Amino acid sequence: MSGAETRTVVVGASLAGLRGAESLRKSGFAGSLTIVGDEPHPPYDRPPLSKAVLTGEIAADATTLPNLVALDATWRLGVPATRLDRVRRTITLQGGETLAYDRLLVATGASARAWPDADQARLEGVFTLRGRDDAQALRHALTASPGHVLVIGGGFIGCEVAASCRTLDLPVTLVETGATLLARVLGQHLGSVVEAMHKRRGVTIRTGVKVKALEDDGTGRVMRACLGDGTAIPADVVVVALGAVRNTAWLEGSGLSFDEGGLDCDADGYALDTDGQADTHIAAAGDVARFPHPLYPGHPIALEHWGHAVAQGARAGRILAGHAAEPYAEVPAFWSSQNGITIKSVGLTEGADGFVIARGDPKEGRFLAVYGRAGRCVAAVAFDCARWLPAYAERIAAGAPFPPEPGGVDAGTFTILPLAFPEPAHEDEA
């Protein structure tokens, strides 16, 4: 199966694609390996793009990822895949060239959700932030001393961009439709802790209101944003940070089961067709893969996490190299760094019905919150206390009871607090 004649194609020159390719080689795959990427760049690291790249600490092109295993691969960069033919086992690239595969790793990731009005989205000064080129363009705009930056969307990217603007001493307003920043992930209680942190750093925050339209100055340059409450915010740089859509459009006609929320996979990591049958020639990894996670039953999930791309990429490489499928139960984990504060999370807060402050004190800026669902710990979020987190990751993996046992050092009061996640109805609106 992994003989020298076997051809493996990795679509997506991304973190998941790179680690998947390395894993194939480490797992003994000796056949030909081709890596296809729609961007002209070799795989690069995204987390710095909204932080150190925007502040100018590092250049966008310095983010190229280290390559940890000899790949002996053919790289096809700057050419998106446009079609997948599972009968002939070919991939069509833009321009019409086809690549035959015996094994395929789909790691095409996600794209920034565009501003809904296409004409407004095209105005000069309107940015999204997903790729390296986006970061470079935004960095360029921020160095031109803009009078006012507007960030639309109070998720992690929006918060990090606003924090970077303040590091550069730029005036910035963050508009979020929800009641607080990060409410969808952390709940309103901790969302307001984050909000206070940004306000102290000088970010102007408008919550519970949406941006209705972006207006230009008559020359195609954005000038202001009109809000739902009738007010307007002047802005010469607008960053649209409304989340991501999965890059699955190229799978149209392949017979695989997908939508903009991801490509469906089975528990082993193989892609599913529209009949729910696994195609064992194809695995998916990273942002694009939607899969059933044993710790979060109910519906399949697609995770946009750095560590997930690494772990799932590595696993996809192993199964494509012919190793037996293994259950994937990595506890989801991510970090964000804003205003010098590091927020780290393990597990998923989605669907949680309460949380406790288990250690420290939000007033001190250093604390750890544990989220519960139906009497089990499902997530923990640490603000500047990463060393406590591994203990909670173990408990989440073990499905330990919630609230967690009291009696630890530095323990909080363990009052179960309501989360107040926002109603999902408005979530896609700006």
232 binds other proteins (CB under 8 A): no
In the chain, what's the furthest Cα-to-Cα distance? 65
Nearer Cβ to other proteins (259/410): 410
- How far apart CA 263 and CA 258 sit, in angstroms, is 4
Of 405, 411, 404, 408, nearest in space to 380 by CA: 404
In whole angstroms, the minimum distance from the beta carbon of 18 to other proteins comes to 10
- Residue 143, interface with other proteins (CB under 8 A)? yes
- Residue 9 Cα distances to 111, 142, 365, angstroms: 21, 38, 47
Shortest Å distance, C-beta 422 to other proteins? 27
**Sequence-ordered list of residues with C-beta below 8 angstroms from that of 259, at least 6 positions apart, any chain:** 246, 248
Check whether the bond before 234 is cis (ω within 30° of 0).
Answer: no
Helices (H), 96-204: 118-121, 132-143, 156-167, 183-200
Give min distance, CB of 105 to other proteins, in A. Answer: 18
Q: Pick the binder of other proteins from 9, 11, 13, 60 (CB under 8 A).
A: 60
333-372 footprint of other proteins as x/- string (CB under 8 A): xxx-x-xxxx-x-------------xxx---x-x------
Query: How many residues sit close enough to other proteins to count as binding (CB under 8 A)?
Result: 62
Scanning residues 166 to 195, which ones bind other proteins (CB under 8 A)?
167-168
- Should residue 307 be labelled a site residue for other proteins when binding is judged by CB under 8 A? yes
Alpha-carbon torsion angle 194, 200, 204, 205, nearest 10: 20
Q: How far is the CB of 319 from other proteins (least distance, A)?
A: 22
Between 410 and 429, how does the x/- string for binding to other proteins read (CB under 8 A)? xx------------------
If binding is defined by CB under 8 A, does position 387 make contact with other proteins? yes
Q: Say whether residue 48 binds other proteins (CB under 8 A).
A: yes
Taking CB under 8 A as the criterion, the residue among 270, 328, 355, 388 binding other proteins is 388
- Decide if 265 contacts 272 (C-beta within 8 A): yes
61 near other proteins, rule: CB under 8 A:
yes
CB 8 within 8 A of CB 24: yes
SS3 at position 392: helix
d(CA 211, CA 392): 38
Q: Which residues pair with 124 in a beta bridge?
A: 221
User: Which residue's structure tokens are 């209101």?
Assistant: 209
Q: In the bound complex, what is the minimum distance in angstroms from residue 64's beta carbon to other proteins?
A: 6
Return d(Cα 347, Cα 118) in angstroms, integer. Answer: 36
Q: Which of 26, 27, 39, 75 binds other proteins (CB under 8 A)?
A: 75
58 binds other proteins (CB under 8 A): yes
Whichever of 213 and 400 has its CB closer to other proteins, that residue is 400
Q: Which stretch binds other proteins (CB under 8 A): 117-125, 126-134, 318-326, 389-397?
A: 389-397
Distance CA 329, CA 339 (A): 32
Residue 30 in the binding site for other proteins (CB under 8 A): no
Q: Which is nearer to other proteins, 296 or 335 (CB)?
A: 335
Q: Give, rounded to a whole angstrom, the gap between the first and last alpha carbons of the chain.
A: 49
Task: List the one residue from 8, 23, 50, 63 that touches other proteins (CB under 8 A).
Answer: 63
Q: Answer yes or no whether residue 55 interacts with other proteins by CB under 8 A.
A: yes
CB of 159 to other proteins, least distance (A): 14
Q: Are strands 103-106 and 7-11 parallel, antiparallel or unpaired?
A: parallel
Place of tokens 């833009």: 94
User: What's the closest the beta carbon of residue 54 comes to other proteins, in angstroms?
Assistant: 9
Q: Is 92 in the site for other proteins (CB under 8 A)?
A: no
What DSSP string describes 9-49? EEE--SHHHHHHHHHHHHTT--SEEEEEESSSSPPB--GGG
| C-alpha span between 347 and 294 (Å, rounded) | 12
Residue 208 binding other proteins, by CB under 8 A: no
Q: Which of 2, 26, 65, 83 binds other proteins (CB under 8 A)?
A: 65
* Interface positions with other proteins (CB under 8 A): 42, 45, 47-48, 52-53, 55-71, 73, 75, 139, 143, 167-168, 306-307, 310, 333-335, 337, 339-342, 344, 358-360, 364, 366, 384-391, 394, 405-411
